[in-house]
Amino acid sequence: MLMSLALPTLVLMTLAVLVTRGVEALMPESVPGLIATALLSALLLWALATGLFALLYLWQDARISALLGDARGWAHMSGLGASAALIWAPLMLLTVATAPRRWKTAVW
C-alpha cells in the first residue's frame, strides 16, 4: 500500500513545491515571469512524473524495460504523468500564486 500509492503521491507533492520554487528563483519578478514559472514548472513536473512512473513500473517488473524501449511505452508513461497532474498541479499553482509574497525587488 505504502509503496504503490502513498509514497508516489508524497514524492509528487514534494516535487511540485520544490521544482516550482526552483524555477521561480530563476525567473524575473513580474507577471510574465509568473506565467513562465507556471509553464516551465508544469513541463518539468510532467517529465518528472513520467520518469517516476517508469521507475516504479521497472521496480515492480524488469520486463517493462522492453516496453520502455518502444514509443508506445513512453506514450503510456507520459499519459500517466499527465494524469498525475491531479496530484501535482494544485500544489504547483498554489506555489506560483504565492510567489509575489516572496519577491524581493518588485512589488505586486
Spans of all domains in the chain? 2-100
What share of residues in the chain are helix, strand, coil (percent, to 5)? 85, 0, 15
Predicted pLDDT at 94:
96
DSSP result, 11-54:
HHHHHHHHHHHHHHHHS-SSHHHHHHHHHHHHHHHHHHHHHHHH
The whole-angstrom separation of Cα 53 and Cα 75 is 12
Mean local confidence (pLDDT), 71-92: 89
Does the pLDDT value for residue 7 go beyond 80? yes
Among candidates 49, 54, 47, 48, which has minimal Cα distance to 68? 54
Residue 48: pLDDT band with limits 50, 70, 90: very high
14-34, pLDDT tens digit by residue? 999 999 999 999 999 999 999
Ramachandran bin of 76, using left for φ above 0, alpha for ψ from -120 to 50, beta for the remaining angles? alpha
| pTM for this model (two decimals) | 0.86
